[in-house]
Amino acid sequence: MFMKIIKFTLLFLLSGLFTQLSAQDIHWSLYNMSPLTLNPALTGSYLGTARIGGIYRDQAFKSSGTPGFTGYTTPSFYVDAPIFAIGKRDWIGIGGMFYADEAGSASLTNQGAYASIAYHKALDKKGNTLLSFGVQGGLLSRDIDLEGLEFGDEILAGFNGNTSFTSPSRDNLAGSSAFNLNAGVMLTARLNKLTDLNIGLSFQNILSPNYSINNQTVNTPKGARDLPLAFKFHGQFNFSMGKKWLLSPTFLYNQAYAANEIQVQTMLGYKLNNKDPMIIKLGPGYRLGDAVSALLGVDYKSFRFGASYDFTVSNLSDINNGQGAFEFALSYIIKIFKAPAVKPVVICPRL
């Protein structure tokens, strides 16, 4: 029964790889440390009372030949919690997250604020295998700083002495917002005492929201202003190698518009000692055709810290001077468990 469920789920997840989907989306190198942007099925998927975390990415922060260019910065914050138990092994988790992606000298900003809910269903009596379903809804918004833009017809008018001319293109640009919906499914399994895995598939922009900053609709094809459906296929495998070492290879396939992004990573962890639960993790990552990443991770009790630096290996290095991008991420799991109520024992000696 277990193997049939595994095969069915893997077949469902792999089928997404051959579906012609595309979309626009933010991306991370430390994608596993931003669970609610990766897959809403990860909401509340941990042992603890509540989890809070954040991640920050700075990309192409010094581009050549573009004075005043600020590159790309993307902070994101999230909080989630498993709030409601169903039976002995199932539960429901809820959470919320926010991100703000800012790009270029005109500060083109994409923001998202989402709430999510996930149901985690145990597939065996011991709870070693879980199938999780998540839904995420929220508001997308986009804005641009028009003061940072210069249009060709305005420059030409200035040469002719008309400094008060305003380009029609400027009048057609304005901020916008729209409701969006994401969903995901994930399989988590502990295969034995030394090995566990999780594989997931998430879909973004299910409602194909329109949040274009261009107000001009003349000669615009139907649907050209909408965000098309996108998907992410991801997985992580954890192997314990003795009492000290841990190996964790991961992958991410992300399709955004016509571009396919594939990331593969491997982290090697070392447990410092048995009494002090600190694990130091190092490893490489590769975003196909784009960048090589150096990854660092530290797990200490309920804290998780991650850092990465991307070395650009594509033609983009001619623009960003080969500086790539860096990320920092931090999360903390709050654990509040009720102390067991111990009834006093009254000893009555015999007389």
In the chain, domain spans: 2-334
pLDDT at 16 over 60: no
Dihedral, 287, 292, 298, 303 alpha carbons, nearest 10: -40
What does the pLDDT look like over 17-28, one tens digit per residue?
A: 333 333 345 779
Q: What is the mean pLDDT of residues 153-178?
A: 62
Assign 176 a pLDDT band (cuts: 50, 70, 90): confident
Assign 262 a pLDDT band (cuts: 50, 70, 90): very high
Q: State residue 260's pLDDT score.
A: 83
Within 10 angstroms of residue 290's Cβ, the number of other Cβ atoms is 18
Q: State residue 193's pLDDT score.
A: 87
pLDDT at 154 over 90: no
Within 10 angstroms of residue 310's Cβ, the number of other Cβ atoms is 21
Assign 173 a pLDDT band (cuts: 50, 70, 90): low
Assign 324 a pLDDT band (cuts: 50, 70, 90): confident
pLDDT at 235 over 80: yes
Assign 160 a pLDDT band (cuts: 50, 70, 90): low
Report how far apart, in Å, the C-alpha atoms of 74 and of each of 3, 32, 70, 307, 337 are.
Answer: 40, 16, 12, 14, 35
**Which residues, 6+ apart, have CB-to-CB distance to 193 below 8 Å?**
240
Within 10 angstroms of residue 49's Cβ, the number of other Cβ atoms is 13
Please provide the average confidence, as pLDDT, over all residues in the chain.
Answer: 80
Tokens of 226: 């909408």
Q: State residue 315's pLDDT score.
A: 72
Q: State residue 127's pLDDT score.
A: 85
Q: State residue 1's pLDDT score.
A: 45
Q: State residue 103's pLDDT score.
A: 75
Q: What is the mean pLDDT of residues 192-218?
A: 82
* Rounded-to-integer distance, Cα 19 and Cα 139, Å: 26
Report how far apart, in Å, the C-alpha atoms of 42 and of each of 135, 188, 198, 273 are.
Answer: 10, 10, 10, 30
Tokens of 145: 């700083």
* Higher local confidence (pLDDT), 87 or 144: 87
Looking at CATH, the fold of the domain delimited by 2-334 is given as Porin (2.40.160)
Q: State residue 88's pLDDT score.
A: 87
